[in-house]
Structure 1
């Protein structure tokens, strides 16, 4: 048994053992001598023969196909990371995920709302804004209801953007590089492809940055904003990745004791008061 086949066999057994029948729609039943699902139950859920699945758990037989691996991932309720790991153990690249997730996890929603003195909002890999707290409403709340895409909004107003500012240019370059990384992760996503095609046609600045072929995830930048209601603001725009959904939690953090920090504090008190 090769080390890869042995690891695949061990991984399948461990994932099977952690599942309760009720989690996959099966009755608990009686006289279960071992925890988790039986081998025949996994085979039934995956639509493969029991004998074939037994050979996989014993590290024997042919390498499973992508179709079999996908069926096993569904049957064992694997997470995205576990699914990718399963495919790699079998010597295959995992098939691409259809598109960015727009589902806001309750825990992330609670975290955003708990930031009462820090503007925070959540965006998917396309940079469609999915959720924001009341403080962030002063920055993203005026986006059109049917088009809450930050990158489209940014490059559509490129004529008024101070491109001579180093941080502004870095923010734009990092955003485009991150979008290109998503473009590679979701090759079948129609909305992402249409967004890139649209911006290539209407924004010379976007087209120039896209042509650089930079691929990278976002880094923090310092932003200076002349806000029409709040006045001049300076804060760090920090992007935190939510790995399980490939979403971005974007927070505006002001330095302690700074005028911007005081503005955020007073605004938060007014909102919560």
Structure 2
């Protein structure tokens, strides 16, 4: 436990918080920026005396429960929370489950890719964000319940809808199963991950066979072909950008310039998700 560094870190995080951000009145008698020590203690559900000793580098090592309370009270980011634990000599345990919240900058980036279909996948292969061209190419995700936006269920379970017209489902299935095993190791205490694996093992012999291999190295799928119900086959390049701090991936589908598939994507960007085969 690095008491001096911990004290300085807590003080700096306390001083950066505007009282209004945590629902406290600013008042007129505050002589220093940020929150008072007693306010942090109250928000973290610990005594003011103990918190004061932490900032004075005189307190014993805080428990994980206290550290969790401090991280919440001081509105720490994930990186800052991990840093807090290391300063306190109590490295954090594994995260409770794969993050699903997508950063606003990533959502903005999706909208800035008008000629590319792009989706964001969680570590369990749930589609958690997408742009309009991706919905036109694959499916209107906004009309689906969360369960039906999981690519692993769509690939392996017989009672699920097919996986969005992929022409090479076996290649994707193998890669996804291997990546899910690595996900399970990163989130050993996640009920969501455990339930998904149990469901896939019970419902799919193919998944059970791939799972039994214990492989975790997945070969990237660089090209895919989608069979659109109205336009036909659309061949796309597939590039994956890791969003490391959220354990998420952005998958970007683009067509070779000047190709029939590029023209098909251009057409889809115009018509969107509307059904062209239904009379108006």
Please classify the TM superposition score into its range, dividing by the shorter chain length.
0.7 to 0.9
1:53-132 to 2 correspondences below 5 Å: 53-132=51-130
**Do structure 1's residue 253 and structure 2's residue 254 form an aligned pair?**
yes
Aligned equivalent of 2:132: 134
Structure 1 segments unaligned to the other structure (5+ residues): none
- Judged with a 3 Å threshold, the aligned counterparts in structure 2 of structure 1 residues 267 and 186 are, in CA distance, closer, same or farther, namely same
Q: CA deviation at 1:138?
A: 3.8
Residue deviations 1:13-56, cap 9 Å, x none?
22112111111121112233322122222122212222322222
SS in 2 for 1:130: strand
SS in 1 for 2:133: coil
CA distance in 1 between counterparts of 2:219 and 2:70 reads 34
CA distance in 2 between counterparts of 1:55 and 1:173 reads 54
Q: CA RMSD in A?
A: 3.3
Aligned equivalent of 1:177: 178
Aligned equivalent of 1:200: 201
SS in 2 for 1:256: coil
Of the structure 1 ranges 88-97 and 14-23, higher mean CA displacement relative to structure 2 is found in 88-97
Of the structure 1 ranges 239-248 and 122-131, higher mean CA displacement relative to structure 2 is found in 239-248
1:171, 1:221 within 8 Å by CA — same for their partners in 2?
Answer: no
CA distance in 2 between counterparts of 1:217 and 1:18 reads 43
Structure 2 segments unaligned to the other structure (5+ residues): 274-280
Q: CA deviation at 1:245?
A: 4.2
Q: CA deviation at 1:257?
A: 3.4
CA distance in 2 between counterparts of 1:33 and 1:264 reads 60
Normalising by the residue count of structure 2, what TM-score does the alignment of the two structures yield? 0.78
Q: CA deviation at 1:96?
A: 4.0
CA distance in 2 between counterparts of 1:139 and 1:194 reads 30
Aligned length: 265
- Judged with a 3 Å threshold, the aligned counterparts in structure 2 of structure 1 residues 206 and 142 are, in CA distance, closer, same or farther, namely farther
SS in 2 for 1:131: strand
CA distance in 2 between counterparts of 1:58 and 1:38 reads 14
Aligned equivalent of 2:276: none
Aligned equivalent of 2:50: 52
1:170, 1:221 within 8 Å by CA — same for their partners in 2?
Answer: no
- Judged with a 3 Å threshold, the aligned counterparts in structure 2 of structure 1 residues 224 and 99 are, in CA distance, closer, same or farther, namely same
